[in-house]
Amino acid sequence: MILKKFIPQSLLGRSIIIIFVPIIVLVLITSIIFYQTSWNIISKRLTQSVVADINVIVKLIEKDLEFEAIQIAREDFKMKIRIKENVNKNNNFAKKQRGILSNRLRQALVELDIPFSYDLSNIDEGVQIILQLKENQYLFVKVDKDRLYSETAFVFLLWMIFASILLLLFSYFFMNKQIRPLKRLSIIAETFGRGLDAPELKEAGASEIRQTANAFNQMRTRIKRFLKQRTDMLAGVSHDLRTPLTRMKLQLSLLKDEKAKKELELDINEMTAMLDSYVSFVRSEAPEPIENININKLLKDIIKNIDLNNFKLKFLEKNIIKTSGRPIQLKRAIQNIIDNSLRYSDELYIEILSNDDGCILIIEDNGPGIPEKNYEDVFKPFFSLDPSRNKLKGESGLGLSITRDIIRSHGGDIKLSKSNYGGLKSQIELPI
C-alpha cells in the first residue's frame, strides 16, 4: 500500500518505470562488478609499481648515490625527489586520506617497512609521499598523477552512463509515441460520453491499439445510429399522439357527466405531460453549440418567472460562477429541479458555491422530501413514489432522469439528500 503511493497513475509513467528500473539496476551492478575487478586490479598494480620504483630510489640513497637516484627518478620514474634533514615530523606525518587509491597506496608502502605519510588532497598536481630514511633524514617524493591514477575506468563508467541516458531518452520518446493514440482515445471517449459530437478516432499505433480504436469507432457509429432512431421515434410518437389528444379535449368539453369528465381530464393531462416530457427529452438529445454560461444569470432568468405571491424564495450567491456547456439544456435541467420543489413546497432556498473542482448549486425546499432509500430510484425513467400524486401534479416520471443525463453530459453530477429545512436537498456539481 505504501509503494502504491509512489507508483505513477499514468500508463506512460508506469511504462517508464518498467524500462528505467532494470536499466538503472543493470548500470549499478555493472559498476560494482567493474570496480571489484578492473578498477581494483588496476589501482593495485599502479601503486605497487610506484612503490617498487621508490624502493629502488631508497636503495640508491642508502648506497650514497643520491645524484643517480635523483636522475633516475626524474628521467625514468617520472618522480621528483628531495632529501631533507631535521623535518618537523608532526607536520609531515599527520596527513591521512581515505579512498580506494589511498588504501592501495598504504598497503604497498607498508611493505617497505619504512615510516611514511602521503598526501592525496591535490592529486591533479601529483601525490606527495614522505619517507623517513634515518632518524633525521626524510625523502620527499612527488609522483605524477598518471602513474597512480587511471582514467580508463572513469571513461568507461561515463560512457556507460551516457549510453544509459540515451537509451532512457529513446525509450521515453518511443513509449510516448505509442501511448499517444490511447490519450486521443481517452479524450474522444470523454467528449463522446458528454454528449458532444466527437470525431472518428484515427487508427494508429500498435496492432492492439488499432483494434481498440476500430472497436471504439464501431461502437460510436452504433450509438449515434441508436440515438438518432430513438429520437426520431419519440418525436414521431409525440407528434402522432398530440392530434387525438387535442380532439379528446374538445370532445371532453361537451361531456355532461362531471365525475367522468374529471377522471378523463386527469388521464388526458397525464398523457399530455408525458408527451411534453418526451418532447423535452428529444430536445435534450438535439445538438446544441457549446457556449460560456453565467450560472448566476441563468438562475436569475429562471427565478424571475416564479410567482412569489404565495411562495418564499431565498437566493444566495457568493461568487460569480461561469462554465462552458449547452445553455438551453442546462437551463432545462435546473428548471426541472426547481419546478419539482415548487410542486411540493412553499419555501425554496438556492445557493451557489465554488471550490477547486468547480461550482456547486444547492437547491433546498421545505416539502415532504423523498425517503433516503429512493434517492437513486427517482432518477430512473417513469419511476413514481405515488402514481396517483403524479396524475394530480401532471408528472410523467422523466423529469429527474432527463436532468441527470444533462448534468452528467456536462461533466457534472447531481446528488439528493435531506434538506436542513425539512424537505429535499438537490446538489448539482459542475466543472468550471
Question: Tens of pLDDT along 378-406?
Answer: 888 777 766 544 444 445 566 788 888 88
pLDDT of residue 33: 76
Mean pLDDT, rounded, for 233-248: 73
User: Is the entire prediction scored with pTM above 0.75?
Assistant: no
- β-bridge pairing 424-430 and 413-418: antiparallel
Sequence-separated (6 or more) residues with CB below 8 Å from residue 285: 195, 227, 230, 231
pLDDT of residue 329: 83
Portions of the chain given CATH number 1.10.287.130: 184-287
Contact 142, 127 (CB under 8 A): yes
Residue 317 carries which DSSP code? E
pLDDT tens digits for 290-305? Answer: 788 888 888 888 888 8
The CATH code of the domain at 184-287 is: 1.10.287.130
Mean pLDDT, rounded, for 245-258: 72
Portions of the chain given CATH number 3.30.450: 2-150
Split at pLDDT 50, 70, 90, the class of 416 is very high
Residue 124 carries which DSSP code? G
Average pLDDT over the chain, rounded to an integer: 77
Using only the alpha carbons of the chain, give its radius of gyration.
44
Residue 429 to residue 421: CA distance in whole angstroms:
21
What beta strand segments (E) does 197-346 contain? 291-294, 312-317, 322-325
Helices 399-409 and 327-344 pack at an angle, to 10 degrees, of 140
Question: Does position 3 have pLDDT exceeding 80, yes or no?
Answer: no
Residue type, 412: G
Sequence-separated (6 or more) residues with CB below 8 Å from residue 410: 194, 323, 325, 326, 330, 430, 431
Q: Which CATH number fits domain 2-150: 3.30.450, 3.30.1070, 3.40.50, 2.30.42?
A: 3.30.450
CA count, 13 A, side-chain hemisphere, 155: 4
Portions of the chain given CATH number 3.30.565.10: 289-430
Percentage above 90 pLDDT, the chain:
3
Residue 36 carries which DSSP code? I
Q: Give the closest residue to 336 by CA, choosing from 237, 244, 233, 428.
A: 428
Question: Does position 263 have pLDDT exceeding 80, yes or no?
Answer: no
Residue 365 to residue 421: CA distance in whole angstroms:
6
User: What is the CATH architecture assignment of 289-430?
Assistant: 2-Layer Sandwich (3.30)
Mean pLDDT, rounded, for 310-335: 83
> Cell numbers at residue 117, please?
605519510
